Amino acid sequence: MGQKCRETEMLTAPAMTFREWTGLLTADLVREPAKFGLGQVPSRLLPDATTKAVCGFCSTGCGLNIHLKDGAAINLTPDPDYPVNLGTACPKGWEALSVLDAPDRARMPLLHGKEVDWDTALRYFCDQMKRILDQHGPEAAAFLSTGQIMFEEMAFLGVLAKFGMGMIHGDGNTRQCMATAVTAYKESFGFDAPPFTYADFEESDVLVFIGANPCIAHPIMWQRVLKNKRQPEIIVVDPRTTETAMAATQHYAIKPKSDLTLLYGLAHLLVREGGVDQSFVVAHTNGFDAFAAFVAAFTPERVCAETGLSIEQLLRFVQTIQNGTPRVSFWWTMGVNQGNQATRTAQAIINLALMTGNIGKPGTGANSITGQCNAMGSRLFSNTTNLLGGHDFRNAAHREKIAKATGIPVERIPERPSLAYDQIIAAADAGTVKAIWFVATNPSHSWIDQNEMNRILDKLDFLVVQDMYCTTETAKRAHLVLPAAGWGEKEGCFINSERRIGYSPKVRRAPGQALADFHIFRLIAHYWGCEELFRDWQTPEAVFRVLQRCTENQPCDITGIDGYAQVRKLGGIQWPLRKDERLKIKTERRLFEDGKFYTPDKRAKFVFDAPCEAPDQARDEFPLILITGRGTSAQWHTETRTAKSDVLAKMIPEKLMLDLNAEDAQRLKVRDGMSVRVISPRAELTAKARLTACVKPGEVYLPMHDHRVNQLTHASFDPHSRQPSYKHSAVRVEAV
């Protein structure tokens, strides 16, 4: 955009109408990308000089046409035939190739900051890991993976580390985004099973977005909402007036982290006002009577006092979603998942879908929107806290099944799952974990209470980072950096939010001596001396076949897929697809159409607990609540990749912006554009104040992408999912 980013300008204009705002998003960022230098394809390319890929940024899983010259990728355009994005792409997707050319790509292994060859690096890696495991036992080393690499690579890492090298502990950065949804679905449905398909965006009469801002975080999903011809009600529950809230027909700006109380209050009114689908509840659920008795205490008066809403707002909300409204879909993402009671909040959403019968039908569902491109692949195949294919390490029959499917002796499979991410870090602080191997993740930037995290990382005997770039905050702390290929420089499959398996090919060479993560794992197996365990793991597609066997008879069964060729031909394939379903493939499929869930009795469960306050409450010294979230659609996580694009850089503010309500600004004597200090009990940073009505008095907002923001955040964790709560930290603001 040559001047200011439109999204930045829109934050200061909450009065913009639905059509005005969505028109800007659609024209400026999606439908007319050439206006901003995005994705212009040279006319000299032949029509058939293309191949198809799935984008490697977010969980939407867009299809891209990669344009080739002399066998190498030179540009890309969105695939008009792919059933996910239907010919559109967000700015990140358009720039997916450009970020691969950054000058700070890791090109050679780095040992204590100096370039070495692969032989030296791998010998050192194995010597140090073996020394630590031999001296201190199998819990002394851990790996922390990612939702950014292909699931064949994730599986290789998890099996290599646990079955080959003898580690017990390994988790992934999906713990930061999706652990809550996993835990909630498992307990409520019997398996981690997002039930929806993207067609549901277009087929709902009411769409309820809770702690979700798809206009910015998942703009192509928002495009699917805009295709909805049913004139839907769009409800947004979010403390901020986000871009999605601007486009909504109803916005409920609740107090931060009062969402659980609100959801129980809605359930109370549904019971009281006869808004429950009794026939569905009786036929397909357990525990409703206990839940109805529990929510009796959540009267409108109590709920309004705790959430800041009016009784009129509460009644309007309930009337919009009650039984009798044909199709209601409930959607959530990080605003729910990143909370101190995140799992119960997600389950409160699930409870609303169940009690109104909005599950298993077009335009319905309790639908978690995933974060990373392959977080769903990580949930099924990373072999961290779950055994491959959604199995349980503690179940002897499951271990036998996975041993047979992988060809690896059952005695090599641990009998217990890993510690969760935060527990691994706590163990490192206690000195029981002495080595950590990070793969395609940057926790020195992204983990909550960042300074504490970095203090602990500096205590490790051995810190390994395997990444595309050698300049990430975590790589700079590493003893050993292993240079990895990125998206487009290797092949494999991702699984998107709607359970769609999509294939991405290798379309260019990695720089220097960087290798695909898959090949790094193969080399480590060789140097470790366990390569015989992986004799059938020669290619990503060979691993895909192994993983198919691991899913047999599971809810995520993919034994009916014929291989990569079929995935590419059909525009991706949603799981499940069993052997007997090969001839029944539909482009878009949802779960639970038969009303049967994955619990032993095939019934969904109502799960609930009493709300409690977030730990870091506002107080005299720190009177404001800091909320963090996605900045713009041009930014991604720690900006390890997106910051490398000159085009994307034009779409974001030049300085870190703090959103501050004018009422607070007047009290603090802060003017718009003034430099301010944002101070928490843990750290402080300097930002530029942006006065806006998009945050309420008593609340401030910072985008999560700046490397300093997580110095401020308070480290609290949901007790069930172990997911960090990034959305509620007490701070104060001072004029500089």
Residue range 624-735 in CATH 3.90.79.10: no
The predicted-structure confidence for 594-647, as pLDDT tens digits, reads as follows: 999 999 999 999 999 999 999 999 999 999 999 999 999 999 999 999 999 999
Q: Tokens at residue 89, please? A: 């792409």
The predicted-structure confidence for 96-122, as pLDDT tens digits, reads as follows: 999 999 999 999 999 999 999 999 999
pLDDT bucket at 587, cuts 50 / 70 / 90: confident
The verdict on whether omega for the bond into residue 576 sits within 30 degrees of 0, i.e. cis, is: yes
The predicted-structure confidence for 414-464, as pLDDT tens digits, reads as follows: 999 999 999 999 999 999 999 999 999 999 999 999 999 999 999 999 999
Instruction: Please give the average per-residue pLDDT across 677-686, as a whole number.
Output: 98
Sheet (strand 365-368) strand order: 250-252, 233-237, 206-210, 328-332, 365-368
Domain limits, the chain: 32-101, 110-177+374-500+510-572, 185-194+243-368, 624-735
Strand 624-629 versus strand 729-735 pairing type: antiparallel
Is the confidence at residue 18, as pLDDT, over 50?
Answer: no
Q: 19-28, 159-168, 300-309, 679-688: lowest mean pLDDT where?
A: 19-28
pLDDT bucket at 1, cuts 50 / 70 / 90: very low
- pLDDT for 584 equals 72
> Could you write out the DSSP letters of every residue in 392-433?
-TT-HHHHHHHHHHHT--GGGS-SSPPPPHHHHHHHHHHTS-
- pLDDT for 588 equals 83
- pLDDT for 582 equals 72
Is the confidence at residue 36, as pLDDT, over 50?
Answer: no
Instruction: Please give the average per-residue pLDDT across 73-84, as a whole number.
Output: 94
Burial 119-148 (b: 16+ CB within 10 A, else e): eebbebbbebbebbbeebeebbbbbbbbbb
Rg (CA), the chain: 25
How far, in Å, CA of 86 to CA of 12, rounded? 31
Instruction: Please give the average per-residue pLDDT across 197-201, as a whole number.
Output: 97
Contacts of 666 (CB under 8 A, 6+ apart): none
- pLDDT for 72 equals 85
Q: 72-86, 178-192, 577-591: lowest mean pLDDT where?
A: 577-591
Residue range 185-194+243-368 in CATH 3.40.228.10: yes
- pLDDT for 142 equals 98
Is the confidence at residue 704, as pLDDT, over 90?
Answer: yes
CATH number corresponding to 110-177+374-500+510-572 = 3.40.50.740
Out of 2.20.25.90, 3.40.50.300, 1.10.730.10, 3.40.640.10, which CATH number does the structure's domain 32-101 have?
2.20.25.90
Instruction: Please give the average per-residue pLDDT across 474-496, as a whole number.
Output: 97
Output the CA torsion sign for 334, 340, 345, 347.
Answer: positive
Is the confidence at residue 48, as pLDDT, over 60?
Answer: no
Is the confidence at residue 33, as pLDDT, over 50?
Answer: no
Comparing 490 with 586, the larger pLDDT belongs to 490
Judge whether 281 and 355 are in contact, CB under 8 Å.
yes
Instruction: Please give the average per-residue pLDDT across 326-355, as a whole number.
Output: 97
Is the confidence at residue 21, as pLDDT, over 70?
Answer: no
The predicted-structure confidence for 566-584, as pLDDT tens digits, reads as follows: 999 999 999 999 998 876 7
For residue 676, list its beta bridge partners: 687, 735
- pLDDT for 554 equals 98
Asked if domains 185-194+243-368 and 624-735 share a fold, the reply is: no
Judge whether 84 and 101 are in contact, CB under 8 Å.
no
How far, in Å, CA of 106 to CA of 110, rounded? 9
Judge whether 73 and 507 are in contact, CB under 8 Å.
yes
Cα angle, residue 341 at apex, residues 340 and 346 outer, rounded to 5°: 130
The predicted-structure confidence for 128-137, as pLDDT tens digits, reads as follows: 999 999 999 9
How far, in Å, CA of 455 to CA of 157, rounded? 26
- pLDDT for 583 equals 64
Judge whether 615 and 727 are in contact, CB under 8 Å.
no
Q: From the DSSP assignment, how many helices (H) and strands (E) are in the chain?
A: 27, 26
- pLDDT for 284 equals 98
- pLDDT for 42 equals 41
- pLDDT for 70 equals 84
The predicted-structure confidence for 240-281, as pLDDT tens digits, reads as follows: 999 999 999 999 999 999 999 999 999 999 999 999 999 999
- pLDDT for 581 equals 85
Comparing 18 with 640, the larger pLDDT belongs to 640
Q: Tokens at residue 260, please? A: 């659980």
Is the confidence at residue 232, as pLDDT, over 60?
Answer: yes
How far, in Å, CA of 599 to CA of 663, rounded? 51
pLDDT bucket at 2, cuts 50 / 70 / 90: very low
The predicted-structure confidence for 374-410, as pLDDT tens digits, reads as follows: 999 999 999 999 999 999 999 999 999 999 999 999 9
pLDDT bucket at 22, cuts 50 / 70 / 90: very low
Judge whether 88 and 223 are in contact, CB under 8 Å.
yes
**Over pLDDT 90: what percentage of the chain?**
90
